[in-house]
Amino acid sequence: MVEDWLANAYEGMSRRQFLARMSASGLGLAGFAIASGSVAGEVITTGSIGLRIVEDKVFSENYPIPIYDAYPEGSGKYPVLVVIPEIFGMHDHIKDVVHRFAKEGFLSLTFEPYAREGGVLQLADIAEVRKVADSVPDERVIADLDAIVAYAKRHPAAQANRIGITGFCRGGMYTLLYAAHSREIRAAVAWYGQIKPEKKPGVRQKGPLDVASQISAPVLGLYGEADLGIPVTDVRALEAALKADGKTAEFAIYPAAPHAFFADYRPSYRADAAKDAWGRCIAWLNKYLKA
């Protein structure tokens, strides 16, 4: 999966040029993933003005998982939106996305999926990142999400009966898996989440297409036509499976958009697709969490 966005990321330039740009910034592959406008050139910074920011820990299976949440200042209560990170975990881009959702009127929160392994932000080689992430069982991530949803329901700023979930790349896959797992979820938005992931004993037994019939929440899928790791046929297969089961589902496939087209810190960023997808995402969440 990560190789897919890497291939997409240097679309329009040679691999040598791509690596040279990273080297000029002093970045390894993992550093590139968490870093700056010196590479992507269009990094969006939302800031926290008008928001309350909380950094805390939630216990999951007796382990303290770092979380980060944001919501509008004031005394109101807001629908909850859990944001599942990409393979690189809870880095600055993901925190900024949490801010963006909070400014749209949500209690938005994210977490560090690889806290038990010490995180992956310090790893300089993508193979090392994959070694960590690919060893984490899906069941553990689902359990962590259960703990985070329980925390959110107790939050003094939460509308506890209005919980949505969204995620990017690997987080998009977990968005779909968790929507199949939990009846607490009232809306799901998957950003280019893999639909037919590789299965591995002890780590992953099923993918989103396998559990489509178990999803009850309305699902919005946002995918790129030029994604090298997620064929359009897979996207259409999931959409068809959900609709055949009577589910509410809508999938947008952006022409010529690569994997990670929303990630403004990567060369894969496509401003037009990202803007349209963001508008669709907010409209979906407003419809099913605020109405």
Q: What's CA 234's distance to the chain center, in Å?
A: 19
**Residue 132 identity:** V
Rounded CA-CA distance 198/58 in Å is 29
Q: Which contiguous run of DSSP H or E holds residue 188?
A: strand 185-191
The reply to whether 259 belongs to the active site is yes
Considering the candidates 4, 144, 227, 234, report the single residue annotated as catalytic.
227
- Is residue 126 within 8 Å of 253, Cβ to Cβ? no
Which ranges of the chain would DSSP assign to H, the alpha helix?
2-9, 15-24, 29-34, 37-40, 92-103, 126-133, 138-154, 170-181, 232-244, 271-285
Contact, 176 vs 8, CB < 8 A? no
Contact predicate 217/187, CB 8 Å: yes
H/E stretch holding 228 reads: none
Q: What is the CA radius of gyration of the chain?
A: 18
Query: Coil, strand, or helix at residue 219?
Result: strand
- Greatest CA span in the chain, whole angstroms? 53
Catalytic residue (choose from 169, 234, 264, 281): 169
Please name which of 126, 227, 123 lies closest in space to residue 172, comparing C-alpha atoms.
227
- Amino acid identity of residue 59, one-letter, is F
Is 155 marked active-site?
A: no
Marked catalytic residue, from 91, 93, 181, 259: 259
Q: Which two tokens stand for residue 237?
A: 């297969």
DSSP 108: E
d(CA 188, CA 285): 8
Catalytic residues: 169, 227, 259
